[in-house]
Amino acid sequence: AQSVTQLDSQVPVFEEAPVELRCNYSSSVSVYLFWYVQYPNQGLQLLLKYLSGSTLVESINGFEAEFNKSQTSFHLRKPSVHISDTAEYFCAVTPTRDSSYKLIFGSGTRLLVRP
């Protein structure tokens, strides 16, 4: 079985400051990793994913995450946040050999960007 831990339920940060949202996972098999973002009253949107290859993945809006297999982590970072980045962020995994690729989510981290 897999599990995902997001230790920080809320992260307050000032605009233009850097931010890191932490994600650790537990799995006995290889997994794919994802970060999803959820804006108020909206569904989940894929922010970025790690499937294979380079362990550093980037999104189009300046976020990046690095897969660290030895530490079983997939932390999300952004060097300078905007007010519009305020949202709930979910880390998720799915086993690479799962027939359905159903997602196992963490409990989420609310990023609150203040002016």
Partner 1 sequence: GAGVSQSPRYKVAKRGQDVALRCDPISGHVSLFWYQQALGQGPEFLTYFQNEAQLDKSGLPSDRFFAERPEGSVSTLKIQRTQQEDSAVYLCASSLSTGVEQYFGPGTRLTVT
Give residue 70's region: left, alpha or beta (phi > 0; psi -120 to 50).
Answer: alpha
Our finding on whether 99 is near partner 1 (CB under 8 A) is yes
Among 63, 108, 111, 113, binds partner 1 (CB under 8 A): 108
Own/partner long-range contacts of 44-49 (Cβ < 8 Å, ≥24 apart): 44/90, 47/76, 47/89, 48/76
Q: Binding residue for partner 1 (CB under 8 A) from 28, 41, 54, 70?
A: 41
Q: Considering the complex, what minimum distance in angstroms separates the CB of residue 67 from partner 1? A: 15
Which residues are at the interface with partner 1 (CB under 8 A)? Answer: 4, 6, 9, 32, 36, 41-46, 49, 51, 90, 92, 94, 99-108
